[in-house]
Amino acid sequence: MKGPGRKIKGRIDWSFWLTRGAAVVIFSSVVLIILYPVQLDPDSLGNRMLYINHNETAIVWSWGLNLLTAVVLTRVLAAAYRPILQMALMIWVIGAASWMLHDFIQITFMPELSRMFLELPTERLARYIMEWEQLLSRLFGLFSCSCFAVSGYIYTAVMYRTAQFTSRFAGYSFSVWSFLLISAIVFRWEERLALWFIACSLFMMVIWTWLLAGEISRIKGQDADGIAVSGV
């Protein structure tokens, strides 16, 4: 049920272009994921590190702009819910930071361990590398995705209580974060299948950010019409 007096705050001209830009960049990341990493063997450490190194810029820009999309939501949703939205943003930031930490370690630390292993292969070093891999996988697949899903649920709850967002868009938003949470759960048991789930989640996110820009544009038009009517 919508809150009767809840309105979106502030000027939102820049929000439209930011969310559309985020959708384009996230889509690029989805294409990269579908083309290559979902086909990787989860035990293929070398291939995974090679992919991250080759696509470092796409990964960083994709999740960086996704984080900016969360900032957009905090700016445009009802001011009455600002403390709740700031909490959602912090959860999102924690998830994004852990994702970036995962990528940074894979790019810098893991290749060095690989070179050490190739020069002097030992069972102890191999076990050490695999322990790091398991830790990083959980950091990425379980923790980060769960943070994004919980944060998204909070944003969606506020959308349901904000008069100017349509129930259809809020419902789609709920389905996006639910699918992402399912991806995190699946990752616990089947990493290869979870990569497909995560790729699908990102594709749903592309649609979500694109539709969000449409919602912002529609709301902006309604506000402009209201101002014009009041001035007549």
Q: What confidence tens digit (pLDDT) does each residue in 109-151 have?
A: 776 777 777 777 788 877 887 888 788 878 878 898 899 899 9
- Looking at the domain assignment, is residue 160 inside a domain? yes
Q: Is residue 207 part of a domain?
A: yes
CA dihedral 44, 193, 100, 157 (to 10 degrees): -170
Q: SS3 of 11, please?
A: coil
Task: Kindly state whether residue 61 falls inside one of the protein's structural domains.
Answer: yes
**Residue 2 lies inside a defined structural domain of this protein:** no
Spatial separation of the C-alpha atoms in residues 168 and 113, rounded to whole Å: 49
Report if residue 136 sits inside a domain.
yes
The tally of domains found in the chain comes to 1
231 belongs to a structural domain: no
| 232: in domain | no
Is 3 inside a domain boundary? no
Whether the CB-CB separation of 92 and 151 falls below 8 Å is answered with yes
- Residue 37 belongs to what H/E stretch? none
Range of the domain at 46: 13-224
What's the pTM? Answer: 0.71
pLDDT along the chain (232 residues), means of 10: 49 65 69 56 56 61 59 59 83 83 74 74 80 81 88 89 83 92 82 73 82 78 53 49
